[in-house]
Structures are given as C-alpha cells and as structure tokens.
Amino acid sequence: MKPIDARADTAQEPTVLRSAVAGAVAGAVGIAASELVAGIVPGAPSLVVAVGSFIIAKQPPGAKDLVASTFGTNDKLALNIAVVVVALLVATAAGLLGRRSFGNASRLFAAFGLVAFVAAALQPLNSPVLAAVNAVVATAASLAALRILLADAGFLEPVRLGWIGLGEDGPVAPWPETPTDPLPYQSRRRFLIRASGFLVGALAMGTLGRLLISRGHPSGIPVSASLPAPAASVSPLAAEESLTAPGITPIVIPNDRFYQIDTELLVPQVDASTWQLRVTGMVDHPLTFTYAELLALPLFEQYVTLACVSNTVGGGLVGNTLWTGAHLKQVLAQAGVKSGATQIVGRSVDGFTVGFPTAWALDPARDPMIAVGMNRLPLPTEHGYPARLIVPGLYGYVSATKWLSEIELTTREAFDAYWVALGWAKDGPILTESRIDHPSNSAHLAAGPVDIDGLAWAPDRGVGKVEVRIDNGPWQTALLSRAISKATWVQWMLRWEATPGTHTIEVRATDGTGNVQTATRGGPLPAGATGYDQVSVSVT
Ligand SMILES: Nc1nc2c(c(=O)[nH]1)N[C@H]1C(S)=C(S)[C@@H](COP(=O)(O)O)O[C@H]1N2
Ligand SMILES: [Mo]
C-alpha cells in the first residue's frame, strides 16, 4: 500500500464525530463477526437472538399482550433490529469513551460481551462454551476495529503489528500545539476509507451469517422425510365438509400457511436420532421413548383446530389441520398415572412449558395426542419437530408443547406453566369464536347479491349455529359446512342482497352446548379475546 502523506491529505484534528463513528462501526464489526460464527459453527448461538430471547423470557408478568404480537414473524424481526440498534448505541458510547481512554472503551465492550454471553448461556438450548467463544469473538473483533479506527481518527498511535491496544489507557498521541503541524498518521481520508471498508465487511459478514443461521447450520439436522402408515387413518373429507365460495379459507390449512406462535427467535433444530421423550413425575413407571419407539406406537389421525389465546377477535392465530400421532392416553396408561396427579406438564427442549388438567386429557370424549405429523408429513421444524402435544379444546399455551421433551405428571398446585406464571389463565379452554373473512373490512362492493363467509370454532364443544346481522338488524342463520368433528372449525356463508350505502356486518357463533359467544369486548389477556367480529363495507 502506498504510504499516505498526511500533509498532502487533509490532516485534521480528531473529531468527536469520528470517534462516535469509529465506535458504531466497531460495534457493527463485532455483531457481524458473531453472527457469522453462529452461522458457521453448529451449536454456536446468535448473540443478537440470545439477547432478544432473554428479553422475551424476562418480560414482566402480564406483558404477553406486548409480546404476543412479538411472536409474529415481523415483530421478531423488529426485536432483532432493536437489539442491534441498542448494541450499536452502546458501541458508539465506547467510541466516545475511547477518545480519552481506550481502556474504558475496552471495558465497555467487554461488559456488553459479558451481557450477551450471560443471555445466551442462560437459555437451555445453548452451549455455554460456544456462547462464551462467540462473545469473545464479538468483543475481540469490536476492540480490534475500534483500536484501528481510533488510530486512524488521530486519537491513538497507529496500530503496530500484533498489537490491538487492549487495556491501553488515555490518548497516547498528544495533539500538537499548532494545527499546522499534524501528526503524520492523521488522515481524514484514511479514516473514511477504513471505516467504510469495515462497514462493508460487517454488512457482508452479517448478511452471510444471517443467511446461514436461517437456513439452519450447514451440518443441518436431517428431518425425517416420511411417517409410518398410521394404524388408524381418516377417510378423505366429504364434499359437504367444505363450502365452495371463491377465496373462502380452506377447512384444512396447508402446513406452510399454518400460524406459528412460540417464544423462539430461531426455532430449535432437534436431532430426532438422539432426541428422547421422557414420561416422569407421579407415575408408576417412568418411561423414555426414542423417535423410532414413538413412531412404532399405534399412530392415529384426527383433525383438530388449534388456536392461540392471544388471537384478537377476527385474527388469524387459529388453524385446522390433520394431525398424526400416538394416543397420549395409551402412553399415560403404560406409565401408570398415580392418583392425585392432577396436572400434566409438557416440557420442551427449549424450556417452554404447558400444563393442563389430567382429567381433561383422560376424558373419554377426547383423544389427546403426541403428534408427529401434520397433513401426513412429519411436523415441520416450526411446528415442533419431532413431536408435540395436541389436546383438543385447549389453547396452545396450556397444551400444545412443540419440540416436546418431557411429559411430567404432577399436581395443579405444584407448578404454573410458562404463560400462567406471566399472568395468563391457568385453565385455557378455547372460547367460542367466529370470524368474517369476506368481504374484508372497508371493502367497496357493488349492490346486489354478496356472499359473506368466514369461520367459526368452539373446540371441542362443536359449533351449533352461526348467525350474521347487518346494521344491527335481525340475526340471520348462516349456512355451515358439515363439521368434521366437535374439535374442528366450520366454514359459514350467508348470501346478502347488498343495497347502496355503508353497512356493518357482524357475526356470532353458538357452541354445541347452546352457549352463545360472549358479546362483550375483552381480552385477550388473561383467557382469550371476546366480542363479535365485525366489518364495515360501502356499497354503490
Ligand atoms: N416449545 C414451545 N411450544 C409451544 C409454544 C412455545 O412458545 N414454545 N407456544 C405455544 C402456543 S402459545 C401456541 S398458540 C401453539 C402454536 O402452535 P403452532 O406454532 O404450531 O401454530 O404452540 C404452543 N407450543
Ligand atoms: Mo398461543
């Protein structure tokens, strides 16, 4: 490289701005390096994700409202971005500190690395060793970049080979008395070139790291391609079990369109060849199943509608699909449930927990399952591969443990599951709900016949009736698809002669026991959202 002649270049006094930029760029280099390590090294946690997950896990009780939406894919992205922004602000502060004392800047970076390490190491799926390695990589990369940039900015002596200036105290390059006599190594051009070079490098490393992380580790865990034939399978759906209307939400949601809710920023990649499911607690015979042993149990299929308690009225956090799995009751019988074991706790490899009454699971009217398949394919990773619980009639947060690792029999009093401890109801029966899918809110329609359609569910009491009313008029009974079972949703439809003007359409469902959906608006905290879904349309 051609030596830079500081006198020919615009030599300048080191500026506050440059130290701030140096800090932020150094922070970006550290974050990007750690993301790259997380992408390349199997098992190394992403520190960004670790800090985000830590925030989700440590939220104050009752705050799921805020975090419920955080579970949506976009909000998870937002949380990741927020973590990066905060980290860059801290790094900027380190840059500013570095003007007076590189030692203090180092300590701030090291403290931040320590926080990221603790956040990562506290999560059950992360290896503390790899978390430590990654935090050290991030800290060292940031410090090296900061040391070089602060020198380029004129705050420190130029970096000599093999020395990144760790622990050095105070600016070692006193500013000369006269601005006409700059130190030879101070150069605005060199600072700009190097800072932008580092930034581009950080973007490249970060992008590559993220890509590798989201595609799973290169040494990727194989997901089994098919399931054994179930001992009992369902027959194809009858024609009456679906309504035909253009664009109507299908009775069975395809796997890639099924809603996803969990506390994970990156879903656990479980290796089914080493995975085990344990049945523990108040049982006569604790059991352990490998994936092969679980698949060797008599498998059965059933359609069950799963819903999220944090779904708002009219929202999409609900889905119906064909699950394949083992009978939970059979596994419990094999284990021998002790009397007094009133709660079944489902634990996930990631530490997430659910809890539901043993009596609910053992009720002869329902067949809860240890599910291994969705729409006749192995569970997708996002939906709990290799196994999860599906308990008809209960919200997911009390029942549907994904990446299941343990079923523990205990008492209701002895344990509060993940969301219950955060202020959500201990019992989570799915409320009777109905939703208008068409027309959409604020739609413009032509006068004449309009088909209104949507879904209604009340697992596992069944849907008895769906009614629609226009502009507070009389409730009109809608046409229903024939319910597959009491545990599934139904489609409904009503033909309406739309007249010019603005109209409000409302829907309500009655469950199989004759109880009408709650009209009062409320929730979703603590037990689910109530109130009727409604849309406004203008007709011309
Ligand atoms: N391990 C684990 N399982 C979990 C959760 C979670 O955060 N972690 N969320 C639960 C919640 S709140 C719901 S609504 C369902 C959603 O299942 P799905 O993502 O397959 O739709 O999973 C449940 N199982
Ligand atoms: Mo949920």
Q: What is the DSSP letter of 351?
A: S
Average pLDDT of the chain to the nearest whole number: 87
pLDDT at res. 351: 87
Q: Is the CB of 308 under 6 A from ligand 1?
A: yes
Cα of 295 to ligand 2 centre, how many Å?
27
Dihedrals φ, ψ of 269, to 5°?
Answer: -100, 105
CATH number for the segment(s) 239-422: 3.90.420.10
* Cβ contact 87:93 at 8 Å: no
- The alpha carbons of the chain give a radius of gyration, in whole angstroms, of 29
CA distance 141 to 37: 12
Closest CA to 458 of 513, 383, 521: 513
User: What DSSP letter does each residue of 278-326 carry, written as one string?
Assistant: EEEESBSS-EEEEHHHHHHS-EEEEEEEEE-TTPPTT-S-EEEEEEEEE
Strands 377-378, 369-374: parallel, antiparallel or unpaired by DSSP?
Answer: antiparallel
Q: Is the CB of 387 under 6 A from ligand 1?
A: no
pLDDT at res. 423: 85
Name the residue of 253, 260, 261 to mutate for ligand 1: max ligand atoms within 8 A of Cβ.
Answer: 261
At residue 208, the 3 state secondary structure works out as: helix
CA distance 297 to 512: 33
Does residue 386 or residue 159 have the better pLDDT? 386
**Residue 61 burial by CB count (10 A; 0-12/13-18/19+): exposed, middle or buried?**
exposed
Give the residue extent of every domain in the chain. Answer: 16-216, 239-422, 433-539
Please state whether the predicted TM-score (pTM) of the whole model is above 0.85. Answer: no
User: What DSSP letter does each residue of 241-279 carry, written as one string?
Assistant: GS---TTPPPSS--GGGS----S-SS-----TTT-EEEE
Nearest-CA residue for atom 24 of ligand 1: 401
Average pLDDT, integer, range 367-371: 98
Closest CA to 403 of 252, 264, 214, 256: 264
Cα of 399 to ligand 1 centre, how many Å?
9
Cα of 308 to ligand 2 centre, how many Å?
3
500-537 residue pLDDT tens: 999 999 999 999 999 999 999 998 889 999 999 999 99
CA distance 382 to 379: 8
- Residues whose CB is under 5 A from ligand 2 (ion)? 261, 308, 396-397
Instruction: For residue 123, count other CB atoms closer than 10 A to its CB.
Output: 18
Name the residue of 270, 352, 401, 402 to mutate for ligand 1: max ligand atoms within 8 A of Cβ.
Answer: 402
pLDDT at res. 251: 97
* Cβ contact 385:272 at 8 Å: yes
Q: What is the DSSP letter of 94?
A: H
Q: E strand or H helix at 504, and its extent?
A: strand 501-511
* Cβ contact 397:308 at 8 Å: yes
166-202 residue pLDDT tens: 334 444 444 444 444 445 445 678 888 899 999 999 9
Cα of 366 to ligand 1 centre, how many Å?
20
Q: Is the CB of 263 under 6 A from ligand 1?
A: yes
Of the chain, the percentage scoring pLDDT greater than 70 comes to: 86
Q: Is the CB of 259 under 6 A from ligand 1?
A: yes
Name the residue of 73, 255, 311, 397 to mutate for ligand 1: max ligand atoms within 8 A of Cβ.
Answer: 397
- Protein fold of 433-539: Immunoglobulin-like (2.60.40)
CA distance 115 to 324: 42
pLDDT at res. 156: 81
Residue 254 sits at the vertex; the CA angle it makes with 250 and 257, to the nearest 5 degrees, is 95
pLDDT-based confidence at residue 38 (cuts at 50, 70, 90): confident
102-156 residue pLDDT tens: 889 999 999 989 999 988 888 766 778 888 999 999 999 999 999 988 888 888 8
Closest CA to 386 of 349, 361, 356, 351: 349
Residue 202 makes CB contacts below 8 A (sequence gap 6+) with 25, 28, 29, 31, 32, 33
The two three-digit tokens of residue 121, written as one number = 């190491």
Q: Is the CB of 400 under 6 A from ligand 1?
A: yes
252-289 residue pLDDT tens: 999 999 999 887 777 788 889 899 999 999 999 999 99
Q: Return the half-sphere exposure (C-beta side, CA atoms, 13 A cut-off) of residue 133.
A: 15
- Tell me whether domains 239-422 and 433-539 share a fold: no
CA distance 51 to 119: 5
CA distance 342 to 466: 35
